Amino acid sequence: MEIGVVIEGQMGLSYEDQLRLAQRAESLGFSSFYRTDHYESFPGPDDAATSDAWSVLAGLARETRTITLGTLVSPVTFRHPGNLAKVVATVQEMAGRRMHVGLGAGWHESEHRRHGLNFPPLHERAAELEEQLTIVRGLWSESDGWSFDGAHHQVVDAKFRPRPLPVPWIITGGEGSPRGMRIAAAHADEFNLTSASPASAREKFAALDAACVGSGRDPKTLRRSVMTGMLLGASADAYARGVTQFMERIGAAGDAESYMAPRRRRWLTGTPSEALPRAREFAAAGAERLLVQHFAPRDLAGLDLLAEVRDALR
């Protein structure tokens, strides 16, 4: 099972912070590095610095050499499909290698309100997401003259230059709703499951197989991954300090044991040797990739600990 790194780019991180993380991940041999796409900081205070995900990725594209870059995920409400297709293709050209673009319906209402972005009901956002997925892939890969007539967007006589080769990798996902699985089966290269334990991941991936079969797609052609959190320490004491610091940073209430109890079923926690069984359980559940959220992003050494888990899986 492959392990990739995910950072919460909205948690007060400067560009230099993100660059250091990306370069450390690359130096450690991680194959992929993703950042979230949000305009408001959370969890914790909502007034920390944030940055635009694709602007940051453009910079990282020029300051890294081999690691795959992408978003998990870009909300459909942030960018018009034609604009997004052009941005991703441009960053891919800058990188000289394939980009991954995670696309989703969005959920954080206040960041939309505070930036003047529309935030329609979920069923409308999901319908618009399906159109976005159709359009970006169509602009990248359909013949000149391709057109699309949707309820939200229309494309007439498309001519997209330069064509991105290879076509960027598309990731969709979520907690595994029936509609989310149908969208992935119809449009995605990879389905990324969130908020799942290994046991629930096994059940969701079986449902995803059924969704693929129902849409006429071979389930083996849709890669599946799990996004999970990480709080690791080189020792038990270091781990305990990290949990306390994380809770203080986000303003979490209660004691560490109560806070972590439900999360230990899903996250990689403790020392690397303690986290390893959970990673193995996700692999046994059918995850081909584990995309790990680094919740102490200024702690570069945390990536070294994650590399120990990755290496022990091999």
pLDDT (tens digit per residue) in 120-162? 999 999 999 999 999 999 999 999 999 999 999 999 999 999 9
Query: What pLDDT was estimated at residue 314?
Result: 87
pLDDT over threshold 90, residue 12: yes
DSSP code string of 38-54: -SS--SS-TTS----HH
Query: What pLDDT was estimated at residue 251?
Result: 93
Averaged pLDDT score across all residues of the chain: 97
Query: What pLDDT was estimated at residue 181?
Result: 98
* Inter-residue contact 162 to 139 (CB < 8 Å): no
pLDDT (tens digit per residue) in 229-288? 999 999 999 999 999 999 999 999 999 999 999 999 999 999 999 999 999 999 999 999
Please give the DSSP secondary-structure letter assigned to residue 14.
-
Structural domains in the chain plus CATH codes: 2-313 (3.20.20.30)
- Per cent of the chain over pLDDT 90 is 99
* Inter-residue contact 278 to 287 (CB < 8 Å): no
pLDDT over threshold 90, residue 297: no
**Cα 231 from Cα 250, distance rounded (Å):** 14
* Burial class, 159, CB count within 10 angstroms (exposed 0-12 / middle 13-18 / buried 19+): exposed
- Per cent of the chain over pLDDT 70 is 100
Copy the structure tokens of residue 103: 């696309």
pLDDT over threshold 90, residue 95: yes
